[in-house]
Structure 1
Amino acid sequence: MIVTTTSIFVDDQQKALEFYTSKLGFQLKNDVPLGADRWLTVVSPEAPDGVELLLEPSGHPAVKPFKEALVADGIPFNSFGVEDVRAEYERLTALGVEFVQKPADMGPVITAVLDDTCGNLIQIASTKA
């Protein structure tokens, strides 16, 4: 068994698509209309046939309080691996991405946490050399 798709709840699918592609660098994989919403997935350009990230609409009543509680407590919803957190922090900051945690040494990894503009905190992490 393997993971093929994972999801993140987003407030606005189009806004999320623009952020995840133009800022974070993911590539569009699927965009299938489903009534008012879409089956909208992105993938890493480094693994175009790898795990898809579904930009899931936040319409279910349980989603809003769940997301708000995570953000209020500073808990990232997902974690993305990068080669160099500090370099990625600089690249993303230059693109206007807001971070709620600057790069920090966390034992065997370095992490930073960003706001995805769609109601989520996202951690980026890299292992120390």
Structure 2
Amino acid sequence: MNKNIFQKIIKNEIFAYKVAENSDHLAFLDIHPVKIGHTLVIPKKSNRDKIFSLTEKQFISIMSFTRKVAIGIKKTVPCNRIGIFVMGFEIPHVHIHLIPMDQENDGNFSKERIILSKTKFQFLSKKIKKSIEI
């Protein structure tokens, strides 16, 4: 069975700008963000592709982790709020998008994505990581 990109990130086969990690979850910057600070949260041990197919314990655990990551992003990236999106059509692995938002349109996945330099990604990931209390 072929591994998807998230499974490769979990196994450190593909680099990611990680901002938080524990034994069950991983959060990292989206490399094609809709807004600066756009972060993905994934479970490390489940290969399910739909969030509501997680067990209740897994669901509560990922949401608790996601909350901590969102609070850290909000401390770091100027915005009105952090939007949470669960769609999962592009990669068959449960993932949650956390997006800094000032207006509803900031969560529009159809708009052109932001391009950031490696330096900006490194700076942003380190800054967010310092603000997250896991």
- Normalising by the smaller structure, the TM-score range is under 0.3
- If the length of structure 2 is used for normalisation, what is the TM-score? 0.23
Please tell me whether Structure 1 or Structure 2 has the larger radius of gyration of its CA atoms: 1
Higher relative contact order (CA 8 A, sep 6+): 2
- If the length of structure 1 is used for normalisation, what is the TM-score? 0.24
User: Greater strand share, 1 or 2?
Assistant: 1
User: Greater helix share, 1 or 2?
Assistant: 2
